[in-house]
């Protein structure tokens, strides 16, 4: 007996609810497999286009007996199994379940996970979503929630109930919606028609740009909607209580008895930056906001074409102090980069620890350069122009990084970062220079911070100032030079802080 004969039995010994099909036509579809196998039982999974020739497949039945009935049928049938007229050979697989590499979002179901990119909750109403998705069949339920791009891939599958506020940072805003249809076919029709398309502009507020739909399948079968609200609907249950608070809360700000907007206090400030003629980096914000206490986290993002930032303090009191002191003031003289501060609804930001647009000062920073004090959490190795360029986002193009190393370190303040105690003001070397700097004199923030009676020694803006208030490496023609204290001085000015 040859070994090949033995091999012939290797794969046919043990019945399995998974069948192996071979000699299929090239790139046979799931539908064709299902059509062939469905008469024998319920198919729970398929995997087609297997093998180098993509002409093999697996079909998994719900029950072993169903697989046996199919194998038995074709074993004794005069008509072989066929797909597109081609004879298909069917055997028990040597495995007992199909594991396919479909990502969860590719597994069809009756609930769609829709990501609407570039918008947040207020931009696309649930009624618009309902309208768009009703074109394909009855929409049973909708649940929407904001999501952070890059924060977590996929949905929160362990969430069983919606309309509970989930403090997720929407650094890069997008809106997600779970759309529940009657069946997977309807969901698939909607997905096929809408995936990659955009919601028509006339259904959206004017300020909303293109918002593409990215659609996958949810693992949910039946959404648990607690209220009819601005973020969730159950169209199968009109008796469901209406959550007016949630509806009102999102559409308009909470208004107090005097008609003024009531804004719950928070330890996180939302800063909108008007008239942003100059770059406002994470470092600039850190400098400005550290005057009032420890800054834990910062995130910068764009919203409707305006730069905004979230600044997280450890407590509400500190945030309130900073808000009071900085509201309406400009980072740069001349009305540039005017700050408008409100309380964020976030309480704990989830941001990348060290990126172009965000910083988490509560986690250890990038590895220390040997000559630097590791306690200082050095983030700007002064000898690494590449990193500098990255950090500065290429916005200081006129600045020659080579000057960086040539710039003397004005202060050495190891330990002041990240604890932000500023207990030993690193300024004494140049107190006069700082005080006499035209920047210090003309910068509202500096005046404001001083006049606020903030008692922390060493207001960062002063710390940052250099003799002359400007880097000689910036060409005189640079607009950054004209009125911008931090921008003009900033490239080397970072150094005193962190090196």
- Mark residues 5-34: x for contact with DNA by CB under 7 A, - for none: --xx-xxx-----x-x-xx-----------
Binder to DNA among 29, 65, 69, 100 (CB under 7 A)? 100
Nearest to 59 by CA among 104, 79, 87, 89: 89
Binder to DNA among 74, 92, 313, 332 (CB under 7 A)? 92
Q: What is the DSSP secondary-structure string of 182-205? A: SSHHHHHHHHHHHTT-B--GGGS-
- Residue 187 backbone phi and psi in degrees, to 5: -60, -40
Nearer to DNA, 51 or 167 (CB): 51
Cis peptide bond prior to 418, omega within 30° of 0: yes
CA distances, 390 to each of 285, 306, 379 (Å) = 17, 22, 12
Binder to DNA among 29, 69, 91, 442 (CB under 7 A)? 91
How far, in Å, CA of 339 to CA of 275, rounded? Answer: 9
Contact between residue 24 and residue 89 where contact means Cβ atoms under 8 Å apart: no
Nearer to DNA, 98 or 149 (CB): 98
Q: Contact between 103 and DNA (CB under 7 A)? A: no
Q: How far is the CB of 33 from DNA (least distance, A)?
A: 13
Nearest to 345 by CA among 264, 250, 254: 264
Nearer to DNA, 98 or 128 (CB): 98
Q: How far is the CB of 12 from DNA (least distance, A)?
A: 5
* Longest distance between any two alpha carbons in the chain, whole Å: 102
Give the range of 95-103, 150-158, 269-277, 485-493 binding DNA by CB under 7 A: 95-103
Nearer to DNA, 99 or 166 (CB): 99
Q: How far is the CB of 69 from DNA (least distance, A)?
A: 18
Q: How far is the CB of 24 from DNA (least distance, A)?
A: 9
Q: Is the dihedral of CA 122, 127, 130, 134 positive or negative?
A: negative
Nearest to 312 by CA among 328, 330, 327, 299: 299
Report the site for DNA in 406-425 (rule: CB under 7 A). Answer: none
Report the site for DNA in 49-88 (rule: CB under 7 A). Answer: 50-51, 53, 55-56, 58
SS3 state at 163: coil
Q: How far is the CB of 58 from DNA (least distance, A)?
A: 5
In sequence order, the 6+-apart residues with CB closer than 8 A to the CB of 421 are none
Nearer to DNA, 95 or 244 (CB): 95
Nearer to DNA, 18 or 174 (CB): 18
Q: How far is the CB of 13 from DNA (least distance, A)?
A: 9
* Total chain residues near DNA (CB under 7 A): 27
The CA R_g of the chain, rounded to the nearest whole Å, is: 31
Binder to DNA among 93, 180, 372, 464 (CB under 7 A)? 93
Nearer to DNA, 10 or 260 (CB): 10
Nearer to DNA, 51 or 314 (CB): 51
Binder to DNA among 34, 62, 75, 99 (CB under 7 A)? 99
How far, in Å, CA of 215 to CA of 197, rounded? Answer: 10
How far, in Å, CA of 374 to CA of 494, rounded? Answer: 17
Contact between residue 413 and residue 497 where contact means Cβ atoms under 8 Å apart: yes
Binder to DNA among 34, 42, 72, 95 (CB under 7 A)? 95
- Sites of contact with DNA (CB under 7 A): 7-8, 10-12, 18, 20, 22-23, 47, 50-51, 53, 55-56, 58, 89, 91-95, 97-101
């Amino acid at each position: 007996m040859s070994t090949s004969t033995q091999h012939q039995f290797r794969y046919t010994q043990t019945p399995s609810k998974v069948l192996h099909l071979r000699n299929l036509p090239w790139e046979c579809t799931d539908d064709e497999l299902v059509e062939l196998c469905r008469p024998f039982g319920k198919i729970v999974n398929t995997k087609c286009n297997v093998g180098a020739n993509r002409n093999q497949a697996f079909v998994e039945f719900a029950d072993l007996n169903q697989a046996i009935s199919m194998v038995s049928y074709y074993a004794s049938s005069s008509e072989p199994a066929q797909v597109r007229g081609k004879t298909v050979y069917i055997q028990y697989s040597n495995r007992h379940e199909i594991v396919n590499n479909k990502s969860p979002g590719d597994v069809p179901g009756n609930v769609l996970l829709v990501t609407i990119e570039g918008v947040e909750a207020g931009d696309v109403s649930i009624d618009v979503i309902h309208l768009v998705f009703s074109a394909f069949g009855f929409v049973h339920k909708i649940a929407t929630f904001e999501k952070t791009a890059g924060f977590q891939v996929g949905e929160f599958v362990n969430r069983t109930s919606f309309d509970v506020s989930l403090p997720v940072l929407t650094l890069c805003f997008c809106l997600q919606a779970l759309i529940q249809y009657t069946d997977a076919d309807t969901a698939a029709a909607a997905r096929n028609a809408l995936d990659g398309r955009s919601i028509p502009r006339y259904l959206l507020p004017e300020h909303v740009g293109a918002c593409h739909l990215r659609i996958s399948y949810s693992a949910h079968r039946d959404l648990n909607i607690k209220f009819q609200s601005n973020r969730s609907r159950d169209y199968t249950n009109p008796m469901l209580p209406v959550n007016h608070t949630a509806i009102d809360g999102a559409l308009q700000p909470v208004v107090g008895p005097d008609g003024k907007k009531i804004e719950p206090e928070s330890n996180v400030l939302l800063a909108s930056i008007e008239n942003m003629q100059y770059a406002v980096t994470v470092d600039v914000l850190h400098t400005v906001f550290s005057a009032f206490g420890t800054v834990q986290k910062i995130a910068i993002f764009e919203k409707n074409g305006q730069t905004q930032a979230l600044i997280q303090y450890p407590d509400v009191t500190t945030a309130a102090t900073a808000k009071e002191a900085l509201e309406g003031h400009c980072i740069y003289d001349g009305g540039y980069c005017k700050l408008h501060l409100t309380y964020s609804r976030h309480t704990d930001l989830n941001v990348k620890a060290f990126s172009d647009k965000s910083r988490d000062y509560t986690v250890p920073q990038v590895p220390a350069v040997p000559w630097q004090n590791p306690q200082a959490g050095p983030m700007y190795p002064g000898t690494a122009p590449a990193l500098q360029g990255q950090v500065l986002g290429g916005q200081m193009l006129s600045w020659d990084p080579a000057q960086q190393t040539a710039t003397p370190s004005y202060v050495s303040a190891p330990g002041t970062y990240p604890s932000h105690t500023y207990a030993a003001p690193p300024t004494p070397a140049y107190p006069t220079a700082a005080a006499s700097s035209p920047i210090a004199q003309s910068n509202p923030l500096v005046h404001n911070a001083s006049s606020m009676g903030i008692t922390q020694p060493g207001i960062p803006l002063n710390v940052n100032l250099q003799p002359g208030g400007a880097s000689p490496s910036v060409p005189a023609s640079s607009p950054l030079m004209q009125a911008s204290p931090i921008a003009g001085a900033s490239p080397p000015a970072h150094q005193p802080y962190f090196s």
